[in-house]
Amino acid sequence: MKIYKILSLVGLVGTVLTTTVSCKKDFLNNSPTSQIPTEEVFKTTQGARAAINGIHSIMFESTDHNAFGYPSIALMSDLMGGDMGMNRQGSGWFVTAYWYRDVNPQGTGNYMWGFYYDIINNANHIIQNIAGAKGTQADRDEIKAQALSYRAWAYFQLVNYYQLSYKSTSLAVAGTTRFAVIAPATPSTALGVPLYTEPTKIAKPRATLQEVYNQIIGDLDTALLLFTSSGNTRKDKTQIDIQVAKGIYARVALTMQNFTKAATMAREARGGYPLMSKTELTGGFNRIYTSEWIWGSVINAEQSGIYASFISQMDNTLNGSYASQQTRTMSVAFFDSTNAANDPNCIKRYAVDDYRRGWATKDSILRVGRWRPFYAQKKFVTQTANTFIADFPMMRASEMYLIEAEALAQQGSVPQANTVLAEFGVTRQPSYVATFATKNAVVQEVWRQRRLELWGEGFAFTDAKRNMATANTGVTPVGGVYYGFGRFIQIVEKTQVAPASADLIFKIPNSELNQNQGCIQNPL
């Protein structure tokens, strides 16, 4: 963790002030954000709730043009997942992710470590101090549950990027130097990340991967109990509630191959969130109140970051956006069956009656003396022409359907998995049927649907890692992640990253290593 940020209340309380008391100039003048003590923030549950809102703001806070909260990390992930391209170098933002150089770390990869630990640090302050806040027990329980959920989510994200997948047979382990090596290992012997559960200025070495997962599960179990005892209803979808916590739990359980838990949590997380209609599917993915969005970030005019924003990187039609200079593209193989052979991991793509075909427009570019086709994305567009306003989805019901279907199939419940998959699929493709005969067939279809459905939402890179680690499940694993493939309009072409490659593990920033001498660097 960046030690200079631990115990700093600038990020925590600074956001508290802007979210709840920014109009009270006397309060601002009397208590500068760099001097407000923790006890003042947590005198009441109102102050503690403002601290939670501060974490919500971190989720989309813009600090640079490749560092605008979680959406920037999601974009990096998809650019490294093989299904997102760009038609030219343009402004140069996110090209390092595209070339797999962010793992070194560079660009957004360098930013990511501090982003997640900022969330953990702020959550730790809330968890430690909420018990003494004046207010109702219901409010204290709900606020603590949100903080625990955020901490669990942040640690899960960290180990997804700074280690191979939980069920990989080879993992990064301590070597004879300060650099880790990849070797056969279990989560109990593999490296996780430094584990902090309370505010501190003392740096810690990396915990084991199992210790981090134990903390994640413990936090989520406690959060679910507290949400239940609280009974509070969240104000809006930017807040974490019990269903969001269950959705996070479903993701974690699926990665750990606890398929019974994953299916249950996913089913309960999606309850009351109907799948999107055709109109909603093709409406621009920009409004948090869309029916199946379970959790998201509201990005309004004040919070958009303008050019330093997700929508600037995605909406090719937005005047002045980075995407207008560097078109964000979807795989040609998503649309053209003639190009299926170029993608051995995912042969069958959007059917002719699949509504999601409306997520891109066919175009072409002159490259190496010949015209080559590409599909400019239309899935994400701004709410209003010539603005940079567009909300961002953090969790949708469709993801939960796909987790449930996979988890059921992995347990051997193929008919039940087909039922769940068909319920989802027919909302995307009216002619869709799910009559898969084997566990492997269902799981492969779920993986295909995840690539089609969740494109651009930050799952591509970590999904590829997880799908390479399917030992002892009876499912054919993914043989590698492809990026810059020949049919993409990309600068680097036909490059494969194999399972257990060091390129699948992000390197810890030098700023952390310099301050934390006990922290082991990942394999180079």
Report if residue 520 sits inside a domain: no
Residue in the block written with tokens 């700023």: 511
Residue 337 has pLDDT above 60, yes or no: no
Distances (CA, A) of 97 to 74, 110, 226: 11, 11, 39
pLDDT confidence tier of residue 365, bands split at 50, 70 and 90:
low
Average pLDDT rounded to a whole number, residues 52-68: 85
Same domain? For 255 and 283 the reply is: yes
Residue 108 has a pLDDT of: 74
Distance separating alpha carbons of residues 120 and 195, to the nearest angstrom:
10
HSE (side-chain half, CA atoms, 13 Å) at 33: 17
Please write the tens of the pLDDT for every residue from 76-123.
889 888 888 777 677 777 777 777 777 887 767 788 999 999 999 999
pLDDT tens across 367-389, in order? 545 555 678 888 988 888 778 77
372/477 same-domain check:
no
Kindly report the CATH number assigned to the domain that includes residue 497: 1.25.40.390
Q: 175: buried, middle or exposed (CB in 10 Å: 19+, 13-18, 0-12)?
A: middle
According to the model, what pLDDT value does residue 86 have? 76
223 shares a domain with 185 = yes
Mean pLDDT, rounded, for 301-318:
72
User: Is 305 inside any structural domain?
Assistant: no
pLDDT for res 361: 85
Task: Tell which of 356, 381, 406 closes a domain.
Answer: 381
Higher pLDDT, 496 or 510: 510
Same domain, 225 and 315: no
Q: Domain check: are 180 and 45 in the same one? A: yes
Q: Which pLDDT value is given to residue 345? A: 45
State which of 329, 361, 381 marks the end of a domain: 381
Looking at residue 37, its pLDDT comes to 62
Domain count for the chain: 2
Instruction: Tell me the DSSP string of 381-430.
Output: --SSTT-----EEEEEHHHHHHHHHHHHHHTT-HHHHHHHHHHHHTTT-T
Q: Alpha-carbon distance 107 to 95, whole Å?
A: 9
**Whether residue 350 is found in the same domain as residue 486:** no
pLDDT for 238: 95
Q: Would you state the structure tokens that stand for residue 424, as one six-digit string? A: 């989802």
Both 356 and 452 in one domain: the answer is no
In a domain, 386, yes or no: no
Same domain, yes or no: 329 and 217: no
One-letter identity of residue 279: T
Query: Do 277 and 132 belong together in one domain?
Result: yes
Residue 128 tokens, joined: 């430690």
Q: What percent of the chain has pLDDT over 70?
A: 82
Give yes or no: residues 338 and 397 share one domain: no
Predicted confidence (pLDDT) at residue 216 exceeds the cutoff of 50? yes
What is the distance in angstroms between the CA of the first residue and the CA of the last residue of the chain? 20
Domain containing 360 equals 310-381
**For 326-336, how does the pLDDT look when each residue is reduced to its tens digit (9 = 90+)?**
778 787 777 76
Task: Say whether both 365 and 412 belong to one domain.
Answer: no
**In the predicted model, what is the mean pLDDT of residues 147-172?**
97
Q: What is the pLDDT of residue 308?
A: 67
| pLDDT (tens digit per residue) in 258-307 | 999 999 999 999 999 999 999 999 998 889 999 999 999 888 666 665 66
Asked if residue 170 belongs to a domain, the reply is yes
Sequence-distant (≥ 6) Cβ neighbours of residue 1 within 8 angstroms: 117, 120, 121, 194, 196, 203, 204, 512, 516
Q: In the prediction, which pLDDT does 127 show?
A: 97
- pTM for the whole structure: 0.90
Closest C-alpha to 435, from 422, 453, 448, 450: 422
Q: Identify the burial level of 43 via C-beta atoms within 10 angstroms of its C-beta, where 0-12 means exposed, 13-18 middle and 19 or more buried.
A: middle
Q: For residue 255, what pLDDT is reported?
A: 97
Structure tokens at 57: 């703001």
The DSSP-derived string for 116-140 is HHHHHHHHHHHHHHGGG-BS-HHHH
**Domain contains 361:** yes
Quick one: average pLDDT of 242-249?
99
- Does a structural domain hold residue 413? yes
Q: Span 228-254, mean pLDDT? A: 97
Q: Which one has a higher pLDDT value, 26 or 319?
A: 319
Confidence of residue 364 (pLDDT cuts 50, 70, 90): low
**Higher per-residue confidence, 457 vs 352:** 457
Q: Do residues 288 and 329 both lie within one domain? A: no
**Chosen domain end from 381, 404, 433:** 381
pLDDT value of position 61: 81
